A and B are shown apart, each in its own frame.
Chain A
Amino acid sequence: MITVTDLVYEYPTTRALKGVSLHVPPQTITALVGPNGAGKTTLLRCLAALEDPYSGTVTVAGHDTRAEPRAIHALLGYLPDFFGLYDALSVRRILTYTARSRGIIPALTSTAVDKAAGRVGLSNRIDVKAGDLSRGLRQRLAIAQAIVHEPKVLLLDEPSAGLDPQARRDLSMLLVSLKTAGMTLVVSSHILAELEDYCSEMIIIEEGLIVGGKAIKVKDIERPRYIVEIAKARSDLKDFLDARAGVDVIEADQYHALITHARSATARARLIRDLINAGFDVSSFGEASKALEEAYFSQVGGGAAR
């Protein structure tokens, strides 16, 4: 859906992006992570065709950002890290204006507005002025603005900033539902644990370069990661798991192993039975919950190849 090739972006005195190449497959949620000043926001703005690169190309759904920026704008939803709202207008009027300015015909505008407000939980505040909303509710309204026209691609820069835990959970569910509905999402955030809930791919950007040179698949819905833990040390744990069909060992020591395995409950039960029959004292067998965080620190901390 999004392809970036050798993207270079320069500010007057600094080169913010130094030859970024990446591919974002359709109908995925990709996390864009990296330290402050790494170039995340600049990259998102280039993807949104809001900034012209110095060199390189960005194509979104086959449209080049330089040649057809307006075509890209039409199929895009974008939530900037610092956004503004028309405080004197009500939620309904803001969403109505956004829907109309994003090309939704008047006959369908009301439906689109109600749907977007419902998705972010603002239906009961539809006639409240934006200036009277709390920070979290304003964030929700900004997200509603970004999705009111059902974009094919949604770029979100720190979407959960200012949201309370419940709203963050709701946001995770919303993003997954948008992906299921066919959207491609790129989400920039500092909060790795939160991205864990919905991202399947991760792009790490540091000093204007993609760490590792490409997106990392951090979570395979069909083949999740599991952690196997045994009570008594066994040096043959890795070899035993390696020998099992359908098991890929990512890393292992005498007590633990991190593996990928089919999501099938039957297959998992068979693997646990095999371990026990082979004399391993299995004390824990569960899905790894910090795949994204581990992947991030293994790449950033390990001085990954660029």
Chain B
Amino acid sequence: MNPEFERNAWLELTPLRLVVLAAVLALAFFAAALSNGFFTPGSVARLMFLAIVVVWGTYNAARSVVGEIRDRTWDSQRLSSLGAGTMMWGKLFGSTVFNWAGGLICLAVIAAESINTGIAGAFAEVVYYLAMGVIAQAFSLSASLIGARRRQGRTGFEVFLYQLAGLLAAIAVAVIADPTGSSIGTFPRTDTLRWWNQTVPTSAFLLASLAVFTGWMLTGCYRQMRLELKLSNGPWVWLGFLIFMIGYAAGFDAFAPLHFDDITGRLMLAALVCAGLAYITAVLEPKSAVQLRWLGGEFARFHLGAAFGHLQCWMMSFLGAAIIAGALMLRFGLAHQGPELATTGAVLGFVTRDLGIIVLMAMLTRRRGSDLLALAVLLVAYWLMPSILHSLQYYGGQALFLPNRTDPLWMSPAASWLEAVAVWAIAATQISLSKRKS
């Protein structure tokens, strides 16, 4: 047996706890059966599953690594011979084994009730709840591993934040993929949807999407664990995820901008996905001056293999966004669409600047809170300054902060790239600063 899972089972699955769990669940289902249809055992099972597996389970998953760090047992675990996969499975399902024991009982009751509507419906509901539980817990574990790499994450509040990440993931699953729901996000649910110009059954598409995203989430946990165990990840899996996300998101016909042709619209969706992932990962990933200096040194020495192997996810996502934006600009240029060309250039410039601000704030503060500071600076740049300029009726000046169409057209892209160069120049100075000090 997986030693980490076994250790967790020693701690979690005591006979007393199992007896209490079974008794509480049995009483709840019995009470529901006696409630004259106000509750059914199935509806109670759904609530209990959410409480035990999602709410409590995300807490346990969030604590599984943070608790080890706080109790000073994590170094010993990192030195063990357990592989990243073994450790990840052992943590994810070991720390939540008690929750899953209760969850499986609930799933059995849910399946028994929903099988009246047909096997396909029961199967879809069980897969939905299973995927929700795994995705939520994996999100919390992954968030806690990111916290560990950022050398934070020991307080109860931070554990709550990691748990919250899992809960938000569960809410997203519920909003998008509930097989009994009447909407998918903000769209009304229909029997079919359009994806890459094909009509696909909604239920099957959502179930397949859940399965695939569960797989990606577990892959993400595994890769975070690899980093904690001092194993290098390399760029290929993240690049594969980027390509998958580009293909997945760009396939939705409903999301493609209407004013553009099919290819341009899908390219815009793809660029949006890459840029969004670049922002998210830039905030989440640790931004170590030491690591950035080392990376810069590898590039300077033309050790390109080592350098590309250690690129962070935000860098690869930004490169993806830049390449797609480049392709878009080429299309707009060839089609003599000057305003679109200028706006795309300006957007890319502002994205470059924003990533520079996130890195710069990390270098300036070198402690927790740098991401909040970066967020504050971005709020000033995107909301406060344009609002002030708007009140002063200096509309042209807004192009300094927003990718607006201007006359002349080059003003907004020029402003964005000037800002980007300035921010990155200061960031580069800060990155090399402590080396000169020592």
Q: Which residue of A lies closest to B76 (CB)?
A: A145
- Stretch of B101-109, B288-296, B375-383, B403-411 that contacts chain A: B288-296
Give the chain A neighbours of B71 by CB distance below 8 A. Answer: 84, 86
Separation of A82 and B231 alpha carbons in the complex (Å): 24
Answer whether residue B11 sits at the interface, using C-beta atoms and an 8 A cutoff: yes
Are A12 and B76 CB-contacts (below 8 A) given A74-B81, A100-B6?
no
Residues of A within 8 A of B (CB): 10, 12-15, 18, 48-50, 52, 54-55, 69-70, 73-74, 76, 78, 80, 82-86, 88-89, 93, 97-98, 100-103, 145
Are A15 and B230 CB-contacts (below 8 A) given A73-B81, A82-B72, A97-B3?
no
Please pick, from A49, A80, A82, the residue contacting B230 in the complex, using a CB distance under 8 A: A49
User: What are the 9 A-B residue pairs with the smallest beta carbon separation, nearest first?
Assistant: A84-B72, A103-B81, A15-B438, A69-B230, A101-B80, A100-B3, A84-B71, A84-B73, A12-B366
Task: List 8 A-B residue pairs with CB atoms under 8 Å apart, sorted by A's residue number.
Answer: A10-B434, A12-B434, A70-B229, A73-B230, A82-B72, A97-B10, A100-B3, A101-B82
Separation of A73 and B87 alpha carbons in the complex (Å): 15
Report yes or no: A89 in contact with B82, Cβ–Cβ below 8 A. Answer: no
Best-surrounded residue of B80, B229, B293 (most CB of chain A within 10 A): B80
Separation of A145 and B288 alpha carbons in the complex (Å): 32
Give the chain A neighbours of B4 by CB distance below 8 A. Answer: 101
Categorize the interface residue count of chain B.
20 to 34
Residues of B within 8 A of A (CB): 3-4, 6-7, 10-11, 68, 71-73, 75-82, 229-231, 288-290, 293-294, 366, 434-435, 438
Report yes or no: B6 in contact with A97, Cβ–Cβ below 8 A. Answer: yes
Distance to closest chain B CB from A64 (angstroms):
12
Q: Which residue of B lies closest to A146 (CB)?
A: B76
Separation of A55 and B72 alpha carbons in the complex (Å): 27
Report yes or no: B434 in contact with A15, Cβ–Cβ below 8 A. Answer: yes
Give the chain A neighbours of B294 by CB distance below 8 A. Answer: 54-55
Q: Which residue of B lies closest to A12 (CB)?
A: B366
Report yes or no: A101 in contact with B81, Cβ–Cβ below 8 A. Answer: yes
Distance to closest chain A CB from B182 (angstroms):
47
Distance to closest chain B CB from A8 (angstroms):
9
Separation of A144 and B73 alpha carbons in the complex (Å): 14
Distance to closest chain B CB from A37 (angstroms):
15
Give the chain A neighbours of B231 by CB distance below 8 A. Answer: 69-70
